[in-house]
């Protein structure tokens, strides 16, 4: 359509104007839509940022809560442990007090009740020492409380008797005391100022007496007279020679001669000698070596020279052509 026609036709003019308006409207609409999209994106981004911050905050809150809960649980646990310890401590002291009370009550009852008063004192295994002597030495008496004596004191008191080697004291509840003794046995005599000092095989001096009781007499001991006291022991030199005496007596017993030995001379350790009272013979043994063989010769000579008083010599070396002999007393 020509310009002129456009100018003449008013509809056309309006149509052109409307088209421009429509296009402008479309541009605005697109612009709004674009802005809307941008706003929507920004909104979504903001929401995402908010959600992220919220998650972080929630996580931090949860961590703090968990930490506080853990601390609270630990605190409760510590408190519970302390409470249990207090309860255990209280229970322990209650039990301790009860136990102490029971023990104290038991001790008081045991020390005061007549049920535990001694009514009988028995002495066992004594042979030489009379029971009354042992009871007297013990210091115990009927009517004493069975708990009110110390065993060590009783034992030491009884061992004051030289014949007592060892002592055992037993309480037989509720009212019996048993004293068991092991006695020393007098086996030999020691010459002592015209008397006899009984000794056992360990060299303990047991008693001084005028009666030898048929026990062999040891002559030549070096223990001083002042030390020959019941309860004492021979000196070391005499103890060493006593061991040889025991060996000699064992050999005489094997030869059937022990019952005839009345004296044993130990004054010279290189020349021990014994005296056979029934045969009236002195036997010279030398240093005490090879005793079994020597006693066989002594036995043979005694049989051969029966009824003759004299001396028997077996104090040489039997392994080196020495021949035992008998020399009759003129």
Please report the pLDDT score of residue 319 as a whole number: 86
Please report the pLDDT score of residue 207 as a whole number: 96
- For residue 64, the 8-state DSSP code is H
Hey, is 47 helix, strand or coil? helix
Hey, is 258 helix, strand or coil? helix
Please report the pLDDT score of residue 91 as a whole number: 87
End-to-end CA distance of the chain: 203
Hey, is 327 helix, strand or coil? strand
Q: Which of 217, 168, 153 is nearest to 189 (CA)?
A: 217
**Region for 255 from its dihedrals, namely left if φ exceeds 0, alpha if ψ lies in -120 to 50, beta otherwise:** alpha
pTM confidence score = 0.69
Q: What DSSP assignment string belongs to 130-171? A: -HHHHHHHHT--TTSBTTSS-HHHHHHHHTTSTTEEEEEEEE
Is the Cβ–Cβ distance between 276 and 260 less than 8 Å? yes
What is the number of other CB atoms lying within 10 angstroms of the CB of residue 188?
A: 21
Please report the pLDDT score of residue 103 as a whole number: 85
- For residue 210, the 8-state DSSP code is S
Distance CA(313)–CA(249), nearest Å, equals 17
Per-residue pLDDT of the chain (330 residues; tens, 9 = 90+): 444 444 445 544 455 556 677 777 777 777 777 777 777 777 766 665 555 555 555 666 767 778 777 888 888 888 888 888 888 888 888 888 888 888 887 777 777 888 999 999 999 999 999 999 999 999 999 999 999 999 999 999 999 999 999 999 999 999 999 999 999 999 999 989 999 999 999 999 999 999 999 999 999 999 999 999 999 999 999 999 999 999 999 999 999 998 999 999 999 999 999 999 999 999 999 998 999 999 999 999 999 999 899 999 999 998 888 999 999 998
What stretches of the chain show up as alpha helix (H) in DSSP? 3-8, 10-112, 131-138, 151-158, 236-254, 291-304
């Amino acid at each position: 359509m020509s310009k002129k026609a456009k100018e003449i036709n008013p509809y056309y003019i309006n149509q052109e104007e409307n088209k421009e308006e429509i296009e402008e409207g479309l541009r605005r609409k697109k612009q709004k839509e674009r802005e809307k999209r941008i706003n929507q994106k920004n909104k979504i981004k903001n929401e995402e940022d908010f959600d992220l911050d919220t998650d972080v905050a929630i996580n931090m809150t949860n961590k703090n809560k968990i930490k506080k809960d853990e601390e609270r649980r630990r605190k409760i646990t510590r408190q519970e442990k302390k409470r249990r310890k207090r309860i255990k401590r209280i229970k322990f002291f209650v039990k301790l007090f009860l136990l102490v009370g029971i023990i104290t009550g038991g001790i008081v009852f045991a020390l005061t009740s007549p049920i535990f008063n001694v009514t009988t004192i028995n002495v066992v295994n004594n042979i030489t020492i009379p029971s009354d002597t042992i009871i007297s030495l013990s210091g115990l008496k009927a009517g004493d409380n069975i708990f009110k004596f110390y065993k060590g004191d009783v034992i030491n008191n009884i061992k004051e008797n030289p014949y007592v080697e060892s002592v055992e004291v037993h309480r037989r509840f509720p009212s019996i005391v048993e004293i068991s003794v092991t006695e020393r046995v007098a086996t030999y005599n020691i010459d002592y100022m015209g008397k006899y000092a009984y000794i056992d095989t360990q060299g303990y001096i047991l008693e001084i007496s005028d009666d030898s009781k048929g026990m062999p007499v040891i002559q030549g001991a070096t223990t001083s007279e002042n030390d020959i006291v019941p309860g004492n022991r021979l000196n070391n030199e005499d103890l060493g020679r006593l061991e040889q005496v025991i060996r000699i007596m064992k050999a005489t017993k094997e030869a059937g001669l022990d019952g005839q030995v009345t004296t044993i001379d130990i004054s010279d350790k290189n020349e021990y000698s014994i005296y056979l009272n029934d045969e009236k013979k002195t036997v010279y043994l030398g240093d005490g070596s090879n005793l079994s063989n020597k006693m066989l010769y002594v036995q043979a000579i005694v049989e051969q020279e029966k009824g003759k008083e004299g001396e028997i010599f077996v104090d040489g070396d039997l392994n080196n052509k020495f021949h035992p002999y008998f020399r009759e007393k003129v």
